[in-house]
Chains A and B, each alone.
Chain A
Amino acid sequence: MVLSKVVPRSLWNFRNHQARIHSSASSKNDTDMEGSLSPDLHHDCETDMKFEQRGVCQKFSVNGKRRKETILIPGNLSITENKYGEYIEWKPDESKVKNGNAEASSSGSKLGASGGIQFHASKGNERVEIKPDASSKEFLRPIKIELPEIRSFIVPPKANPREIIFILSDGTTLNPFIFERGSPENLVIALERSLRITKSRSNSNGLYMVGVRKESAPTMPPSGVLPHGVAEILGVLPPEHQHNVGQLWGFMKEMKNDPYATACTTLAKFGHMALNGELPINVFPGGSSTQVTDSVLRNGRLEESLNSDANELEADYTTNEEGYEVIFKPEKIGVELPPLTYFRTFRGQPLSQEQWLNYLDHEGRISNMNEIRQIVFYGGVEPTIRRHVWPILLGVHDSKSTYEERQCQLSEKTCYYNRMKMQWATISEDQEERFSPFRDFKSLIEKDVSRTDRTLDYFKGENSRGTDILRNILMTYMMYNFNLGYVQGMSDILAPILMETQDEILAFWVFVKFMDLIETNFEMSQEGMQRQLKDSYTLLQLVDPKFSAYLEACDASNMYFAFRWLLIWFKREFSFQDTLILWEALWTGLPGPNFHLFVGLSILEQHSTTIMENKFGLSEILRHVNDCNENRLRVNPHPS
């Protein structure tokens, strides 16, 4: 630990730095405004360095060509104090960054001792040079947070913890900080001098709550004696209670001992168990054991199954301000989920070309589609055969069709596609002026195509080929289904399919079939979305009454924070490749048509403790949920 008095060369505050912009922008505002905008503009303000740790990397996740890549930016973490308050600061290590060295390592988690910006691709061992361009600037952005803004932090429980993730009071989750040497121990000790740190009440996920100390800062404990909380974080003491996780969804939390652990892998097992009646959910006392889950999975309507038992439930239905129903007395449902033994599930192997060919008879008919669905559900499809498997999975072609029939259908579909494409391509500007619905859709498509996944190579650059095809398909789909036309979100649905197939006509027909599944998401009435959000909440009431009550108390029971998840099936939350794996599983229709609601719930459930113990309200929940996107979610975090 370093205690010294420094005047930093440049103070930076990520919240208030636009004050500098202000100074250069023309303004008729008061001249004193600039100085009062941020305490940090007082460059001459004396700063005490209360703690400093070198070799702390900030971890970024970026979309690589095919998969997620982790970028670690070496830097220094410190706690500083000036007359305005105390701050935690992270700055990139300029000496290392200036060299511009970047290193790719084959190991996803090991940190190289050498300096430079480190690319940790999970594959390959090549050295990559980072040029200080616009995108790298983003990685080099310093961070400065006022200490009281920290609401909690997570030290993922491992034998040798090296990572710390801060959550702020507005729901922001910062990128993880990785300690190249040592652990977050000293940092936490230093924080404890100013902040009250307590262990999360249901601490199975390394969550620690932070409060403001009202008394003066305590003196350091005698050397060798760790404050209780710190000792626990570091695993020096055994956790107070590694209690048996009783509830159905408890096992998800156990899985979350690793914060990157998968939602769908686990749920795949759950869905399977539910379908096979292996899960003794006693939903209604004296009722059939898997009534609700089964009903949702098989019939697709949770609400119906609940309504069918309305007398027994005595649930009060009331109408809220949005004009749709909410169930008012969740406790009357009387759900008692039995203890469940903890187990761990693993993803299966993806459907291989060899397997696929084995399922085809000499004319190309598929012998056992159910088995294929099972394999795809548990393991996905090898990328090389996706273009063959997807059309069958989604019903572009019937599984009983022969090679010849499929070939024939394909040429028909090609003609059909080209005909529809000609329809829009031949509408003149003059016609457009008198065809406002067409014009509006076209304008929206143009706007969205130019901002869909532009960071990916396939869609990069002005008028990239990928962007052109994306536009062609969306315009053609508008002609195919003019009632729906184009709705925002559809470009997100198409982009991964197109990028994977790189075939305009195939991608169109796969997209058409996918849209058939989710068309109600995009309808004007939004009824489809409201129904799914409502069903998600009802389901949450069953599996986690405490959390659902919490959401209700902060007016979040409409679940609108999950809108994006459900609208485009988690496409913005996962990487491209993981999105495809997830979609393939969902396209199988196993274990039932509403499985995506379970996926959403399991993601939510992983954050329930964080949300409740941070006392997040409606807005912070939305912020938190929007933040727990691709940086934090993996379909299969530990590929075997």
Chain B
Amino acid sequence: MANRQSGGSNTAAGGAQRPNGAPQNKICQFKLVLLGESAVGKSSLVLRFVKGQFHEYQESTIGAAFLTQTVMLDDTTVKFEIWDTAGQERYHSLAPMYYRGAQAAIVVYDITNQETFARAKTWVKELQRQASPNIVIALAGNKSDLSAKRMVDHDEAYAYADENGLLFMETSAKTAMNVTDIFLAIAKKLPKGEQAAGAGQAQGRRITDADSAPRSTPNCCK
């Protein structure tokens, strides 16, 4: 099932088909997966990014959740297909199914909990070993609003991210700090132009006609 993604069935939200003749727009679609230890705030980051909401007692994710969000970058519409996963080690065996074929990943830890940072590192390793070779990985140190309880040093995480070629930001789903930014930073780093065509799995898909069956081949943007 590696690259047989489904989002190709989505409707073109902009571009040539727009009935009122609005200007054409590049549309790219990327699969992004969130990974990290339980209760670090994966779902909360997604909820903040997609709906602008924050729930103090966000319930645990069972199985996985799927959401989409669109951002505009210059003349490009970037549509994220976001897979939010369950964090507990027990459900680790499901994870490859969700990160397979992903062009981007956000690995989340909780700045108030050192163990979650260690877990984040193992996720990064696993992604580097098993996910698409061109995957864009971002490291998010979440719960930055709780800096009084900080257990993970910012500079240590920054240095780790730097060594491993990861994007890095400390985020807070609660205050919204850096939430949109981290997604935008990923969007900027993802290949979108024609020059990236043929780059393989890390390539977003151009969205075309809505009226065909679920597609199975990833395509590049125009």
| Chain A residues close to B by CB (< 8 Å) | 14-19, 21-22, 25-27, 29, 32-33, 36-39, 81, 83-86, 138, 146, 148-151, 169-172, 194, 211-214, 216-217, 320-322, 444, 447-448, 450-455, 487-489, 491-492, 522, 524, 526, 553-555, 558, 560-561, 563-564, 567-568, 572, 614-623, 626
Contact = CB atoms under 8 A, between A and B. Distances in A.
Contacts of B53: 138
Interface in B163-222: 176-181, 184-185, 188, 210-215
A415 B3 CA distance: 56
Contacts of B184: 22, 29, 33
Name which of A81, A212, A524 has the most chain B CB atoms within 10 A of its CB: A212
B17 to A, nearest CB: 5
Contacts of A37: 71-72
Contact of B52 (A21, A150, A447, A617): A21
Contacts of B181: 22, 25, 27, 29
Contacts of B63: 560-561, 563-564, 567
Contacts of A150: 11
A568 B62 contact: yes
Contact of B90 (A27, A81, A487): A487
Contact of A148 (B12, B50, B213): B12
Interface of B: 1-2, 4-14, 17-20, 22, 38-39, 48-53, 56-60, 62-74, 81, 83, 86-88, 90-91, 93-94, 97, 176-181, 184-185, 188, 210-215
B6 A18 contact: no
A272 B204 CA distance: 50
A169 B210 contact: yes
Contact of A19 (B14, B97, B180): B180
Contacts of B90: 487-488, 522, 524, 526
A444 B11 contact: no
A39 B65 CA distance: 27
Contact of B179 (A18, A214, A568): A18
B89 to A, nearest CB: 8
A469 B72 CA distance: 48
B40 to A, nearest CB: 10
Given A18-B52, A567-B62, A619 B12 contact: no
Contacts of B87: 488
A451 B62 contact: no
Nearest to A562: B63
A211 B214 contact: no
Nearest to B212: A615
Contact of B72 (A36, A448, A615): A36
Given A16-B70, A321-B1, A447-B39, A452 B59 contact: yes
A172 to B, nearest CB: 8
A627 to B, nearest CB: 10
A21 B176 CA distance: 7
A619 B70 contact: no
B57 A451 contact: yes
> Would you call the interface of chain B mostly helix, strand, loop, or mixed?
loop
A455 B39 CA distance: 18
13 contacts: A14-B51, A25-B177, A148-B12, A169-B10, A169-B11, A447-B39, A487-B88, A524-B90, A564-B63, A567-B62, A620-B66, A623-B66, A623-B68
Contacts of B59: 451-453, 572
A488 B60 CA distance: 8
Contact of A212 (B17, B56, B69, B215): B17
B9 A616 contact: yes
Nearest to A488: B88
A259 B38 CA distance: 35
A553 B60 contact: no
Contacts of A172: 68
A211 B73 contact: no
A104 B188 CA distance: 50
B23 to A, nearest CB: 8
A451 B68 contact: no
Given A16-B70, A29-B185, A148-B17, A615 B213 contact: yes
A568 B63 CA distance: 11
Contacts of B9: 169, 614-617, 620
A22 B51 CA distance: 14
A316 to B, nearest CB: 18
Nearest to B82: A619
Contacts of B58: 451
Given A170-B68, A619-B5, 10 more contacts: A16-B70, A18-B179, A21-B176, A25-B181, A83-B20, A85-B14, A148-B17, A447-B39, A451-B59, A455-B57
Given A572-B62, A622-B64, A623-B67, A148 B18 contact: yes
A407 to B, nearest CB: 38
Given A169-B10, A170-B10, A217-B19, A626 B210 contact: no
A150 B50 CA distance: 18
Contact of B94 (A455, A487, A560, A615): A560
Nearest to A530: B93
Contacts of B211: 211
B214 A554 contact: yes
Contact of A22 (B68, B180, B210): B180
Contacts of B60: 447-448, 451-452, 488-489, 491
Contacts of A84: 14, 22
